[in-house]
Structure 1
Amino acid sequence: MQAIRGLVTAFRTLTILPLPGRDTDRFSTALYWFPAAGLFIGSVQVCCAFAVAMSGWHELAGLAMIISGVMLTRGLHADGLADLADGFWGGKTKESTLRIMKDPNVGSFGALALILLMLVKWVAVLKLVELQAYAPLVSGVLLARWSQVLLASTMPYARSEGGTAHSFVHGAGAPHLLVTTMASILMLWLILYAKPELVAVALSAALASTVCTGYLSYRKIGGVTGDVLGAASEFCEASVWISCALFCL
């Protein structure tokens, strides 16, 4: 029963879908379902991109991929990226950084980070669409959610007073990371069966991006927050897409 409730919580948190049922009592249980949610989100995005690409307008297909992702997730991770950029580049101390990150207003650093990353993602998606390499696009979205599990399972929560993501980070540990890693690798093998070498490329890009984000966050605020998890997801997605696009050239 808790497993099903974890599924409900994962999809309610990561998407706009109002799944019926009760949320799990232990929010960390939802982490087991994050890669599955990523697989679903990525599949919907790719369907939107493929439908537009059939018209031959690849630039618009790339835009459809990105916009559908933002709409399906309520821009949750993009918001985290903006808050992280504002806080990490605007705060001088841990306290000031966390205070800025909690501010709902987007500053200049956040706006620039969003514009630049969305541009990078659009360029990567455009190239993959032109190559008709849709599987790496789904893989990037899947691994982006796995990256959140990696950080939540290995790093402490940065805010002593708690916060939005505290219930997910609290209780997360090795079992969550082990199960989601195995599940993610299995799903990647199924998605990328035509080019199995891309599994190593995608995993390496996701791991490198997530470790760098985690290291920067630990140095800056001593742990993670919901904004850090969201930003890590955005960075991971872009890294996987760019790496796979370069490999497919």
Structure 2
Amino acid sequence: MLNGLVTGLVTALRTLSVFPVPGREARSFSSALYWFPAVGLLLGLFVAGSGWIGYLAGWDRFGAALMVVSGLVVTRGMHADGLADMFDGFWGGRDRDSALRIMKDPNVGSFGALGLGSLLLFKWVALEQLLSFGAFDWVIAGVVLARTAQVALAVALPYARSGGGTAEGFVVGAGRKHAVVSSLSALLIIVFVLKSTPGAVVIVTGASLASTLFIGWLSSKKIGGVTGDVLGAVSEVTEIAVWTAGGLYFMLR
């Protein structure tokens, strides 16, 4: 059992980040899902730490740009690429088969470029707002919940491709226990990160839930399940949702 947990952590780190990790991959990729919130915490600390440079210099706009870029670098841009592919497929495909075919194409089309540009713009604006209040805890919470959203969709929806794909191993073996463990660990992390502030915990959780439900509903309607691109997209959308909610929270309080 211990060996399975260790290999699951190795797989989670190799899947979600660029960090070089020694060790063997998990036999069942779904065992990595338990570790997604914890790896999200590591990634969130990295992203927030890069923004600290701009914050110390008193240049919030630069710090926000550093956080956007560092988030892309530390994940190899994998989730952003997934969002671009999802935009191309969902808005360029006339039916399920054409949408899946377009999403598999490595080239980025016009819808994907528009989606990716919008993603980066929204992230930059939201992060600049959070940085102006020194709200690094909200930045970290967004990254943690974004990875938890991936687990939720992997558990809730079937794998959409009949011919297999990179995310099939994560989705096919995902079950209720993965959702329960990852959700509880994510909740513990954000309660600690947000200093047990009830209002903040409710807001970030609500924003994460809303974005996850929306992407899940849209993906179920368009392709009848999820793919690796959809899991990447829900991660990006959840980050934006949580960070935007945080920006509004500080602006209106």
Does TM-score exceed 0.5, indicating one fold?
yes
Residue equivalent to 1:65: 67
Residue equivalent to 1:204: 206
- Mean CA deviation greater in 44-53 or 214-223: 44-53
State the shift of 1:195 in Å. 3.1
Residue equivalent to 1:226: 228
SS, match of residue 158 in structure 2:
coil
Residue equivalent to 1:102: 104
Residue equivalent to 2:92: 90
Residue equivalent to 2:45: 43
State the shift of 1:123 in Å. 0.4
Alignment of 1:12-27 (within 5 A): 12-27=14-29
Residue 160 in structure 1 maps to residue 162 in structure 2? yes
Alpha-carbon distance in structure 1 between the residues aligned to 2:183 and 2:55: 32
Partner AA of 1:49 in structure 2: G
Alpha-carbon distance in structure 2 between the residues aligned to 1:35 and 1:23: 18
Residue equivalent to 2:56: 54
Checking the alignment, whether the CA contact within 8 Å between 2:64 and 2:127 is kept in structure 1 is: yes
Alpha-carbon distance in structure 2 between the residues aligned to 1:177 and 1:194: 22
The total of aligned residue pairs comes to: 249
Alignment of 1:136-175 (within 5 A): 136-175=138-177
State the shift of 1:245 in Å. 1.2
State the shift of 1:51 in Å. 1.7
Deviations 1:78-109 (CA, angstroms, capped at 9, x unpaired): 00000000000000011100000000000000
Checking the alignment, whether the CA contact within 8 Å between 2:55 and 2:134 is kept in structure 1 is: no
Alpha-carbon distance in structure 2 between the residues aligned to 1:210 and 1:171: 20
Identity within the alignment, %? 50
Deviations 1:7-40 (CA, angstroms, capped at 9, x unpaired): 0000000000110000000000000000011110
The change in CA–CA distance for 1:194 and 1:175 in structure 2 (over 3 A counts) is closer
Alpha-carbon distance in structure 1 between the residues aligned to 2:59 and 2:239: 23
Checking the alignment, whether the CA contact within 8 Å between 2:50 and 2:66 is kept in structure 1 is: yes
SS, match of residue 98 in structure 1:
helix
Residue equivalent to 2:241: 239
Alpha-carbon distance in structure 1 between the residues aligned to 2:196 and 2:179: 27
Alpha-carbon distance in structure 1 between the residues aligned to 2:196 and 2:6: 32
Alpha-carbon distance in structure 2 between the residues aligned to 1:118 and 1:52: 18
Partner AA of 1:34 in structure 2: F
Deviations 1:174-208 (CA, angstroms, capped at 9, x unpaired): 00000000000000110001633111100000000
Instruction: Give the structure-2-normalised TM-score.
Output: 0.97
Moved over 2 A (4+): none
Residue 192 in structure 1 maps to residue 197 in structure 2? no
The change in CA–CA distance for 1:179 and 1:194 in structure 2 (over 3 A counts) is closer
In structure 2, list runs of 5 or more residues that go unmatched.
none
Determine which of 214, 217, 220 is the counterpart of 1:215.
Answer: 217
